[in-house]
Amino acid sequence: MASNFSSIPVLDYSLTKGSKTKQEFLSQLRHALINVGFLYLSNPPVAREDVDAVIDYAPKLFDLPQEAKDKISMLNSECFFGYTKLGAEITKGQTDQREQFDLATPYESRWKPGEPEYLRLWGPAQWPDEDALPGFKDTMLRYLAQVEALSYEFIGLLAEAFSLSPDVMKGFYEQDGPTQHRAKVVKYPALDNLSSNQGVGPHFDGGFLTFLLQASPHLGLQVQNLSGEWIDAPPIPGTFVVNIGKALETVTYGLARATSHRVLSPPKGSTPRYSIPFFQNIAQRISLKDIKLQFSPEILKLAEQRTANGKVDSVNYGEYGQLPSGQVGLIGRVKSHPDVAQRHYPDVFKQFFPHGLPAQGSAY
Ligand SMILES: O=C(O)CCC(=O)C(=O)O
Ligand SMILES: [Fe+2]
């Protein structure tokens, strides 16, 4: 039976706490992973006051004086952390109409000369000065630590939903010490003065799982179903939107679907839309082609029932089948932020932009 979707399922995390209800949750999760690739998670184990606090900080972060934002420009950072002004990011060769701060969980750089340069991607984030936005850094770090813990727990639930041991995925992070995860605070201005309505163009996320907090009541996020139609994923207060990254799709042989998604700019005259995604990474030196998870034939059959060739507009992160995960991450960063790449990774930059910085990129 071909299976398609016209809305995104809502899963209640509190069901995982009872042994009977947990089975129900796992069955809903299996369906969402295989057939949709997106879900809402209600009642997540993240303190509501911290969620409310980061939502409250989001507009204030962008209202900082331009000078304070430029001081932590992403151009300063070989880790691609920091502030990106409107119109400086590219997805699928087109300019995105969003302004953002790339942040991360704490990490001390481990790269040493002679080692692969993708190890330079992990290191310290850039934070605004404490007196410019008192309490922001501490609040955000507290929030990120909780979402990180949730992301590990959730990947265990995902393994169980596919009848694997909950610990089977641990090897993906616990190599060479800790894993650094990325996050962003994003602002999508209304269409008033923009050259297009591409808040962010169609793409897959990298890594394992994304936990997205929609931080204002705007429509805009859309998810592409198997017929290629764009389905709205409206904000639902008190939930995270959870979706599958391309690395997780690769190691599960497509059982967990990485679903193409995009954001449209808010309409003319609207207030801006804000969002706060958290991207769960995996160890950088891992090559996914070397890892074989063993799924039962019954589980694999569930994915066969899905329409085989779903129509998608996204094309990125196809390299997980060949390259170490860190290199795939670096390529993604280079294509999205060529100006940062030109400064810190000139060789990789030249590989993808042989004619120099794009007026409007065309890497994909
Ligand atoms: O802002 C959103 O709602 C989604 C952002 C997104 O998909 C991304 O940054 O990867
Ligand atoms: Fe995304």
- Please give the ipTM for the structure prediction: 0.99
Residue nearest to atom 9 of ligand 1 (CA): 277
Per-residue pLDDT reduced to its tens digit, 229-282:
999 999 999 999 999 999 999 999 999 999 999 999 999 999 999 999 999 999
- Tokens at residue 65, please? 């004086």
Per-residue pLDDT reduced to its tens digit, 143-173:
999 999 999 999 999 999 999 999 999 989 8
Separation of CA 284 and ligand 1 centre (Å): 22
Instruction: Indicate whether 4 belongs to any domain.
Output: no
Reported as a pLDDT band with limits 50, 70 and 90, residue 138 is: very high
Instruction: Indicate whether 202 belongs to any domain.
Output: yes
Q: Which domain holds residue 315?
A: 10-362
Instruction: Indicate whether 1 belongs to any domain.
Output: no
Check pocket membership of 261 for ligand 1, CB cut-off 6 A: yes
Instruction: Indicate whether 2 belongs to any domain.
Output: no
Q: What is the mean pLDDT of the chain?
A: 93
Instruction: Indicate whether 125 belongs to any domain.
Output: yes
Q: Which of 241, 247, 211 is nearest to 223 (CA)?
A: 241
Give the number of other Cβ atoms within 10 Å of residue 76's Cβ: 16
Reported as a pLDDT band with limits 50, 70 and 90, residue 359 is: confident
Instruction: Indicate whether 27 belongs to any domain.
Output: yes
- Number of structural domains found in the chain: 1
Q: How far apart are CA 204 and CA 315, in angstroms?
A: 7
Give the 3-state secondary structure of residue 24: helix
Indicate which CATH number applies to the domain containing 149. Answer: 2.60.120.330
Q: How far apart are CA 93 and CA 103, in angstroms?
A: 24
Check pocket membership of 8 for ligand 1, CB cut-off 6 A: no
Instruction: Indicate whether 5 belongs to any domain.
Output: no
pTM listed for this prediction: 0.96
pLDDT the model gives residue 5? 87
Mean pLDDT of 70-78: 97
CB 255 within 8 A of CB 162: yes
Pocket-testing residue among 96, 187, 200, ligand 1, by greatest number of atoms within 8 A of Cβ = 200
* Residues comprising the chain, all counted: 364
Separation of CA 298 and ligand 1 centre (Å): 33
Instruction: Indicate whether 357 belongs to any domain.
Output: yes
CB 123 within 8 A of CB 79: yes
Give the 3-state secondary structure of residue 272: coil
Separation of CA 314 and ligand 1 centre (Å): 14
90 versus 180: which is more confidently predicted?
Answer: 180
Per-residue pLDDT reduced to its tens digit, 289-331:
888 899 999 999 888 877 656 778 888 888 988 999 999 999 9
Check pocket membership of 202 for ligand 1, CB cut-off 6 A: no
Nearest atom within ligand 1 for CA of residue 186: 1
Check pocket membership of 255 for ligand 1, CB cut-off 6 A: no
Q: Which of 41, 34, 33, 12 is nearest to 213 (CA)?
A: 41
Check pocket membership of 319 for ligand 1, CB cut-off 6 A: no
